[in-house]
Amino acid sequence: MPGAFHSLLLPLQRKRKPKRRHTRHHPDERNPNKPKSHLAGAGAAGDPSFNLKASASAFPRDIGCLVQPLGNLLLSASPGANLRDAGLGALRPLPDDLLLDVLGLLQARALAALSVASKALYVVAAHDPLWRALVLDELGGAFDFAGSWRATYIAAASGGRPHHIPTRALRIRGFYSDYLFQSWLCANMEMRHEWLARDNIERRRGVSVEQFIAEVEESNRPVLLEGCLESWPALQKWSREYLLEISAGKEFAVGPVSMTLDRYFRYADNVQEERPLYLFDAKFAEKVPEMGRDYEVPVYFREDLFSVLGEERPDYRWVIIGPAGSGSSFHVDPNSTSAWNAIIKGAKKWVMFPPEVVPPGVHPSADGAEVTSPVSIMEWFMNFYGACKTWEKRPIECICRAGEVVFVPNGWWHLVINLEESIAITQNYVSRRNLLNVLDFLKRPNASELVSGTKDRVNLHDKFRGAIEAAYPGMINQLQLEAQQKAAARKKKASFWDSAVDAKSGGFKFSF
């Protein structure tokens, strides 16, 4: 075996959990001189060609193995010769995703040992998400990213001596796998023009609070607000240098681990993977008070009824930092709250579906406790975005840029991907318009599974209702009365058939 894994002699000190999840990443790059890549079946959006990022082949320590889509095997000189089949032995019948699940159970030394058994196992064992899981499980956030997760693990196992990491790996040809190739493609392709072109969200500037409530909140529809962050010091102050200075030594939540900001920025500058780690921290203002002072809640969202709970309120605000390609796959915001998301630096692509329309590729459980979305953000665009063109209820889409705010109404499904390195602040809140929805959500029979952001999930409804009644006597009863009146008015509204038939004469009338 070449020296790729020779430094994995001693286990790292931190104990790993017995199970690890993996996501799919990094088969080696194709010919870097080719401007486009092709994947059979990617034509959900039409032309299956994709432009690669300029950095697609910039990592000399990537696995160095030529992985091609399975369809290319038909065009090869030996159509029946797939290195995968010849080199996996008894593991050959396993599909690639299941094979990686099995390898994900291995310790690092076992994974390295397996890679010397054959060229095919060398390719599979070098799958970078396997090493990502090992790094995060054993090191937490105390790692220095070295261009790939495998290289990062080797550097850590070598005591941080990068000269022990081989500059290149084996060059292997003839390995065909749609699963591995699509993972690499999703990590290395640019967003297509047609994925970014649609912008059908309503944009508002200078709207009054009363107008916002009547025209936006009451109708429960998304809107992009312009010009309401101009007083934020963060817009001018939040450079990398400033954030590093004020947060020195503080750790932030990044996926399943905690990291200092300097380590995270080094990772973000060098990462090229399908699902980049995303800094998403709910306690940023407590950790770094200067960050809390550098922004204020836009005037439209200052009625936040969860605030009556004081320190017992669920998590509600987050700072969000991530490189291009990072983001959040489809989800509905917690506890039936509405939200606003303000961009300080960068740009984000938003795709939103109303509550009654489940996005394609997304499978919520019947009780809403779990949501299965088996694809990454880029894979969703590749395989499902094009299907939305024929839907009667097409998604609301936009690109939100620095200084702009997206309002996300309660219950709306939304996906967000960073188009460049981005910094944002988001808050979830409860206004009068949404209070009854939140109370109903919190008292569902499976509230212990649905409620999030608090330790006391079971009693949150009673605590919240009691605090509202104490702070705002009569508010809940008044809102319930108004809701009943609105429901009665909708019920009395004539249907098409009622408006077309004259009840007295039995004949038809036309009144357009």
pLDDT digit string, tens, across residues 317-365: 999 999 999 999 999 999 999 999 999 999 999 999 999 999 999 998 8
Are 197 and 90 within one domain? no
Question: Is the four-CA dihedral 99, 104, 106, 112 of positive or negative sign?
Answer: positive
Q: How far is CA 322 from CA 51, 102, 267, 313, 382, in A?
A: 22, 30, 10, 26, 21
Average of per-residue pLDDT across 86-100: 94
Lowest mean pLDDT among 107-121, 159-173, 369-383: 159-173
Are 99 and 233 within one domain? no
Spatial CA neighbour of 278 closest among 254, 249, 260, 308? 254
**Average pLDDT taken over every residue of the chain:** 85
The CATH number of the domain where 182 resides is what? 1.20.1280.50
Question: Is the four-CA dihedral 333, 338, 344, 349 of positive or negative sign?
Answer: positive
Q: Is the pLDDT of residue 26 over 50?
A: no
What pLDDT does 49 receive? 67
**pLDDT grade, residue 161 (50/70/90)?**
low
Condensed to tens digits (0 to 9), the pLDDT of residues 400-449 reads: 999 999 999 999 999 999 999 999 999 999 999 999 999 999 999 888 88
Are 171 and 209 within one domain? no
Write the CB contacts of 210 (distance below 8 Å, at least 6 apart in sequence). none
What pLDDT does 48 receive? 58
Q: How far is CA 487 from CA 480, 490, 511, in A?
A: 11, 5, 25
Average of per-residue pLDDT across 107-127: 93
Are 155 and 200 within one domain? no
Are 184 and 330 within one domain? no
What pLDDT does 335 receive? 94
């080199």: which residue's tokens? 87
What is 443-512 written as a DSSP string? TSTTHHHH--SSS--TTHHHHHHHHHHHHSTTHHHHHHHHHHHHHHHHHHSPPHHHHHB-TTTSSB----
CA 110 to chain centre: 32
Q: Comparing 54 with 33, which gets the higher pLDDT?
A: 54
What pLDDT does 164 receive? 53
Are 169 and 311 within one domain? no
Are 284 and 377 within one domain? yes
* 289: in domain: yes
* 492: in domain: no
Are 398 and 261 within one domain? yes
Write the CB contacts of 455 (distance below 8 Å, at least 6 apart in sequence). none
Q: Which two tokens stand for residue 291?
A: 């960050």
**pLDDT grade, residue 374 (50/70/90)?**
low
* CA–CA gap between residue 153 and residue 137 (Å, rounded): 11
What pLDDT does 371 receive? 83
Are 172 and 240 within one domain? no
Q: Pick from 147, 169, 188: which residue ends a domain?
A: 188
What pLDDT does 53 receive? 80
CA 124 to chain centre: 26
* 21: in domain: no
Q: Pick from 168, 188, 208: which residue ends a domain?
A: 188
* 453: in domain: no
What pLDDT does 190 receive? 92
Are 264 and 318 within one domain? yes
What is 107-149 written as a DSSP string? -HHHHHHHTTS-HHHHHHHT-HHHHHHHHHHHHTT-----SSH
* 379: in domain: yes
The secondary structure element, H or E, covering residue 440 is helix 432-442
Write the CB contacts of 319 (distance below 8 Å, at least 6 apart in sequence). 252, 279, 280, 281, 284, 291, 423, 424, 425
What pLDDT does 25 receive? 39
Q: How many CB atoms lie within 10 A of CB 452?
A: 11
* 179: in domain: yes
* 225: in domain: yes
The CATH number of the domain where 231 resides is what? 2.60.120.650
Supply the pTM of this predicted model: 0.85
Q: Is the pLDDT of residue 310 over 60?
A: yes
What pLDDT does 47 receive? 52
What pLDDT does 495 receive? 52
Q: Comparing 122 with 503, which gets the higher pLDDT?
A: 122
The secondary structure element, H or E, covering residue 168 is none
Are 409 and 263 within one domain? yes
Q: Is the pLDDT of residue 240 over 50?
A: yes
Q: What percent of the chain shows pLDDT beyond 90?
A: 66
Q: Comparing 13 with 209, which gets the higher pLDDT?
A: 209
Instruction: Give the domain range for residue 400.
Output: 193-430
Are 204 and 69 within one domain? no
* CA–CA gap between residue 480 and residue 486 (Å, rounded): 10
What pLDDT does 19 receive? 41
Q: Comparing 281 with 9, which gets the higher pLDDT?
A: 281
* 472: in domain: no
What pLDDT does 35 receive? 37
* CA–CA gap between residue 288 and residue 269 (Å, rounded): 23
What pLDDT does 497 receive? 44
Q: Pick from 388, 403, 430: which residue ends a domain?
A: 430
Q: Is the pLDDT of residue 243 over 90?
A: yes
Number of domains in the chain: 2
* CA–CA gap between residue 420 and residue 343 (Å, rounded): 12
